[in-house]
Amino acid sequence: MSADNVLKANLEEAAGVLRERLGNREPVVGIVLGSGLGPLAEQIEDAIIVPFGEIPHMKRSTATGHKGRFVCGELGGKTVLAMQGRLHGYEGNSPQEVAFPIWLMHLLGVRALITTNAAGAINESYAPGEFCIMSDHINFTGRNPIVGTEPDGIAFRFFSMKDAYDPELRAVAHRVALERGVAVQEGVYLGLLGPSFETPAEIRAFRAWGADTVAMSVCEEVIAARHVGMRVLGISLVSNMACGVEGASPSDVEVFEVAKEAEPKFCRLIEGIVEEAVL
């Protein structure tokens, strides 16, 4: 390691602290719980809870409803490490600060990442309360956590983003959804920096680009995960129609109301995916 690779040194220090807090736990699945989806963490058994603020070099979550803590325990017969809340760029975090907990999960042995969020539907055939399995994404944040010299010391900076969202994990998600009676779509997610919601003109442009859903997270996490070879599954709760679609004008209140109603379905879906995925 280069003596001036501060990022790698910080990650190793953070991993040492979190590893000590988790004892003999060896998580194999990482889960990022987005807006309104944090209650899944209450389903994790024999849980150890570590607030982000107790991990060296980790930023705290300031987003509404994001508790900002790691929850490690058993779900679906596997040891998982969940982020009950995430870090966003719109909170003032740099791309590498957003990516930090993903790289940290990798150092702890996590092989697969399930990243979730609440998203607006650009595709007019979608309905609030459904879930959308991400087939691909358009990173329109203008940011990438691999920029700079230090991430190249973690893993090689050039890597393919083909099948960034693992086809086998997507197939498992579809099968579980069918078995457990959860309505799902599959489509292209577009990520923005936020925090303002999109304009109707932007939504029309994004539809022309082939985007089906839109929100303010995920892309930087997925880039960081693929950078170090983690398998990724992305799932959005369709919490609202995007701005201008069917006259919609999104609000955070709407997002949390829909998430509350969808909570039982979301828990069934994620637990089933963790249980059936072969890692």
34-53 residue pLDDT tens: 988 998 999 999 999 999 99
Q: Which class would CATH give 6-276?
A: alpha beta
Global pTM reads 0.96
Question: What digits encode the pLDDT tens for the residues 99-109?
Answer: 999 999 999 99
**Predicted confidence (pLDDT) at residue 1 exceeds the cutoff of 50:** no
Please check if 118 is assigned to a binding site: yes
Q: Is the pLDDT of residue 73 over 70?
A: yes
Q: Is 88 annotated as a binding residue?
A: yes
Was 93 annotated as part of a binding site? no
Which tokens sit at 94?
């740099």
| Eight-class DSSP state of 11 | H
> 137 phi and psi, to 5 degrees?
-140, 160
Residue written as token pair 């919490």? 239
Listed in order, strand segments (DSSP E) in the chain are 29-33, 45-51, 69-75, 78-84, 112-121, 131-139, 184-191, 213-215, 231-241
Q: What is the mean pLDDT of residues 184-211?
A: 97
Q: What average pLDDT does the segment 232-257 reach?
A: 91
| 94 has binding-site annotation | no
Joined together, the tokens standing for residue 268 give 């069934």
3-state SS class at 32: strand
Say whether 240 counts as a known binding-site residue.
Answer: yes
In DSSP terms, 187 is beta-bridged to: 134
Please check if 87 is assigned to a binding site: yes
Q: Please, are residues 29 and 225 in contact by the beta-carbon 8 Å criterion?
A: no
> Is 35 labelled as part of a ligand binding site?
yes
Sign of the C-alpha dihedral computed for residues 32, 161, 175 and 121 taken in this order: positive
User: CB of 7 within 8 A of CB of 153?
Assistant: yes
pLDDT in tens, 142-197: 999 999 999 999 999 999 999 999 999 999 999 999 999 999 999 999 999 999 99
Q: Give the pair of three-digit tokens for residue 259.
A: 């998430």
Q: What angle do CA 63, 66, 68 make, to 5 degrees?
A: 105
